[in-house]
Amino acid sequence: MGKPTGFLEIKRQEAKNEAPAKRLGHWHEFAGKMPAPAIRNQAARCMDCGVPFCQGGNVLPAGTSGCPVYNLIPEWNDMLYKGHWQQAFKLLLKTNNFPEFTGRVCPAPCEGACVLGINEPPVTIKHHEYAIIEQAFAQGWVKPRIPGQRTGRKIAIVGSGPAGLAAADELNQYGHSVTVFERDDRPGGLLMYGIPNMKLDKRQVVDRRLKLMETEGVTFKTNTEVGRHISLQELQQQYDALILATGATVPRDLAVPGRELKGIHFAMELLTRSTKDLLTPQATAGSCLNAKGKKVVVIGGGDTGTDCVATVLRQQCAAVLQLEIMPKPPVTRAADNPWPEYPRLYKADYGQQEAAARFGRDPRLYEVMTRKFLGNNGRLTGLVTTKVKWLKKNGHPVPAALPDTGATLEADMVLLAMGFTGPEPQMLQLAGIALSRQGHIKATYGNYATNQPGVFAAGDCRRGQSLVVWAINEGRGAARACHQYLQAPNRKNSTDKVD
C-alpha cells in the first residue's frame, strides 16, 4: 500500500452529514462529502493485510462478509492515496456497474470484513467508493459506452431494479439489443420507488444513470406489466432470451385481529407514494397516504423500517414509534458474532437520529410483538403489544410472549416493514416457471437458468430479499450466463424466427 504505517498513525474520520434537525425540512440528500486531502488520509489507513477480506463476498451466519461484487478495494485505495483518481475510477468500474448506488445505500459489508476492523475502526471504504464515482461524473470521465457492433440478438429483461439494470448494462456492452420492461411509470424499481429520495436522489443520481444507459442503447418500456399487458410466452416468442429480475415484492403480512382496519399499510405503499409525491405531485394530489398530524407505529426494525421513520418525520407526523421483535444489539461485537462476520451492533441510523432530534428519544422498542389492532368505526386507533423472550426450539430461536407485559399504543397509522417473502407468483406460474419451496424462482446461483429454455432469473426474485449489491452481482452473473447461452452453436437469431 502507499503508506505502510498509515493504519497506525491515522484515525478513522467520517464525512459530516447535515444535522438531523436541519435535514428534516427537506427531501434532498444529506450525506456529507470528505475533501480530497481527507480521503487521501483515510485511504492511507488501508493496510497491506495479505488477504483482503473486504473484497471476498462470502455469506456467513451473520450475513454477507465482504463485497459481493468483489470490488478491488485495496487497489483503488492505493490509487486514492497516490492521487490517481481516474485510475481508481477505472478499477472501480471493473467490478461495479453502479457505484453511485452502492456508495449511497449499501450497508458496507466490506467494512465489516476489513482486517483493520479486528481491533480498530475499519477503513471508510463506502465513502471512498462514493467519492470516486462522483469525482468521475464531475470530471467528465463517465462517458457513454456505445457498442461498436451489434450481434443481432434481442433480449428482454423483466424488471428494472438493480439486478435488471446490471444485466441490461452488461448485455448491452456485449452488443446485444436489450429491452427492459417495467410496470411502473419510471424505470429503476427499488432504486426509484423503494428507497427514499434523501438516501438516493432520483433526478440527480438515478435518472442520470438511466439516461446514460439509454444513450448507450438500452430501451426501457415503462407502464408495461408482463403478465397483464404482454405475456411471458409472447416475450419468449419475440426475443432470443429473457431475464427475470422482478424482485421480491410480496410483503410479509401480520395476520392478527384487526388487520382489516383502515390506516394499516405496507411500508412500500408509503415509500412509493412519497417519492411519487415528490416527482409528480399533480398525479398524487389528495392522497390520504400521508402521516401529517398522525401518530405512527412502524413494525419492523430493518432498513425499510428506518426509511419509513424518516419519511413520516418529513411528512410532519405527530409521533412515531418503531417496534422490533429482536433483542437490542450490543454496542460491541458479541462472542457469537466474531470478525469477519457482519457486525450486529446497536447503532442509530439516520431515521432514528432524526426522530431523536424531533422527539428527544430513539423511537425503537425492542423485543415487542403485536398481538392485535384496535379500531373504531373501521379505522385504526391503536394496537396491543406484548414483550417477548427468545427461546431455542429444535435448534432455532423462536419468540415467546411474556405474561403480564401487555401494552396498548395509540396509532392513527401503522406501517408494516417486516420484509418480503418472494416474487409475485401469478405471472411465473402461468408461464410454467418452477418455484422453490420458499416461493423464489428456481435457478442455480452461477448459471441462473430456469426450467424454461432461454429464460434466466437474477436478484431478489431468485435469492430472496437481499442487498442492492447482491442484486448487481446476480444481474452481472445472469448476463454472462445469458450471453453464453446465445453463443451456443446453431442458436438462431430472433430475426430468423418464423411466425
Distance CA 311, CA 445 (A): 35
Q: How far is CA 241 from the centre of its chain?
A: 26
Provide the 8-state DSSP code for 148: S
Cell 405471472 locates to 427
Q: Quote the cell numbers at residue 284.
A: 398524487
User: Is residue 494 predicted with pLDDT exceeding 70?
Assistant: no
Give me the mean pLDDT over the 26-37 stretch: 97
Residues 111-166: tens digit of each pLDDT? 999 999 999 999 999 999 999 999 999 999 999 999 999 999 999 999 999 999 99
Report DSSP letters for 167-198, one per residue. HHHHHHHHT-EEEEE-SSSSS-TIIIIIS-TT
Report DSSP letters for 338-358, one per residue. -TTSPP------HHHHHHHHH
Tell me what pLDDT residue 120 has.
Answer: 95
Residues 6+ away with beta carbon under 8 Å from 427: 226, 227, 232, 246
Domains of the chain: 6-139 (1.10.1060.10), 154-249+421-496 (3.50.50.60), 253-418 (3.50.50.60)
Secondary structure element (H or E) that encloses residue 22, with its range = helix 20-23
Tell me what pLDDT residue 381 has.
Answer: 98
CA distances (Å), origin 373, targets 16, 385, 414, 475: 41, 9, 9, 40
Give me the mean pLDDT over the 329-351 stretch: 94
> 20 burial class (0-12, 13-18, 19+ CB within 10 angstroms)?
buried
- Identity (one letter) of the amino acid at 346? Y
CB atoms within 10 A of CB 499: 3
CA distances (Å), origin 440, targets 160, 184, 235, 431, 453: 18, 22, 21, 15, 18
Report DSSP letters for 411-448, one per residue. -SEEEE-S-EEE--HHHHHHTT--B-TTSSB---TTT-
Residues 204-252: tens digit of each pLDDT? 999 999 999 999 999 999 999 999 999 999 999 999 999 999 999 999 9
Q: Quote the cell numbers at residue 260.
A: 382489516
Give me the mean pLDDT over the 343-357 stretch: 96
**Is 3 or 318 the better-scoring residue by pLDDT?**
318
| Polymer length in residues for the chain | 499
- Phi then psi dihedrals of residue 95, to 5 deg: -120, -20
- Phi then psi dihedrals of residue 297, to 5 deg: -120, 125
Sorting pLDDT into bands at 50, 70 and 90, what band is 3?
confident
Distance CA 459, CA 167 (A): 10
User: Is residue 41 predicted with pLDDT exceeding 80?
Assistant: yes
Sorting pLDDT into bands at 50, 70 and 90, what band is 499?
very low
Residues 247-275: tens digit of each pLDDT? 999 999 999 999 999 999 999 999 999 99
Q: Is 265 helix (H, G, I), strand (E, B) or coil?
A: strand
- Judge whether 53 and 66 are in contact, CB under 8 Å: yes
Cell 422490533 locates to 324
Provide the 8-state DSSP code for 55: G
User: Is residue 498 predicted with pLDDT exceeding 60?
Assistant: no
Q: Is 46 helix (H, G, I), strand (E, B) or coil?
A: coil
Report DSSP letters for 194-232, one per residue. IS-TTTS-IIIIIHHHHHHHHHHT-EEE-S--BTTTB-H
CB atoms within 10 A of CB 255: 5
Tell me what pLDDT residue 285 has.
Answer: 57
**Is 430 or 2 the better-scoring residue by pLDDT?**
430
Across all residues in the chain, what is the average pLDDT? 95
Q: Which of 455, 477, 394 is nearest to 226 (CA)?
A: 455
Q: Quote the cell numbers at residue 380.
A: 385504526
